[in-house]
Amino acid sequence: MPDFTPTEMMTIAAARALSNEDVCFVGIGAPSAACNVARLTHAPDVTLIYESGTIGTAPDVLPLSIGDGELCETAVATVSVPEMFRYWLQGGRISIGFLGAAQLDRFGNINTTVIGDYNKPKVRLPGGGGAPEIATSCQEVYITMKQSTRGMVEKIDFFTSFGHGEGGNDRERLGITTKGPTLLITDLAVWKPDPVTKEFTVVSMHPGVTREQVQETCGWKVRFADNVEETPPPTELELKTLRDLQARTEKAHGGKKEA
């Protein structure tokens, strides 16, 4: 079995969730790494869209931001941001929104705005950007994040991106017709919402991970599926693809001098 880190397992497990048929709205950071690993391995025809208006982008290195020139240079087309959101996103043309989170609750609601009181926050976060619209307008949403009791909390400090609200049919009650969060991939496990309550439930744990570890790094009482599977470990191809991508990115953006 190849040696791999929890973060590598998370990224590769997230990449596996995408298919050639998907049109995916990509968040910067871990979602971007996962989506591009998918494109470079089992889903070469996946369509990656970034918030800046790039469609069908195929970056050789991971972008630092949505304004990274690499995205526009490798895209099939670039449209204006208003067109991206109104025609493509709100028009229902995007199948998957791939988001990260600073805080997340059991129903997939995301906070990327502030930690603490909004008017006197302990930490001011980058904000929502296009994530609130992605969370409501993409056909479904995948979330990826590392587990911690600071990140996975009983109650988020601010609703940036709406998941399943308080659970059940909250989205439908508010007139939101898309599925919302259907998958959560962390560095320890794969979670899916309960069909009725919409509470995230562990369906698969990564190799070597225990239920105790999952609970210790989560701020709510974890629910486990009746049959919890083990996530297949990364293949050599998946690991090499991810590591090569990260090495190219570090060389391009890391500022390291050649020996």
* Identity of the residue numbered 147: Q
Exposed (0-12), middle (13-18) or buried (19+): which is 257, by Cβ within 10 Å?
exposed
By C-alpha distance, which of 111, 172, 167, 116 is closest to 143?
111
By C-alpha distance, which of 13, 7, 6 is closest to 238?
13
Quick check: is 51 catalytic? yes
For residue 73, give the H/E element and its range: helix 69-74
Of 8, 21, 51, 250, catalytic: 51
Q: How far apart are CA 5 and CA 8, in angstroms?
A: 5
Q: How far apart are CA 33 and CA 8, in angstroms?
A: 10
Q: How far apart are CA 20 and CA 38, in angstroms?
A: 9
Exposure string of 221-236, with b = 16+ CB inside 10 Å and e = fewer, is: ebeeeeeeeebebbee
Count how many residues are written for the chain.
259
Q: How far apart are CA 55 and CA 108, in angstroms?
A: 27
CA-based Rg of the chain, rounded to a whole angstrom? 18
| Contact predicate 114/121, CB 8 Å | yes
Active site positions, annotated: 51
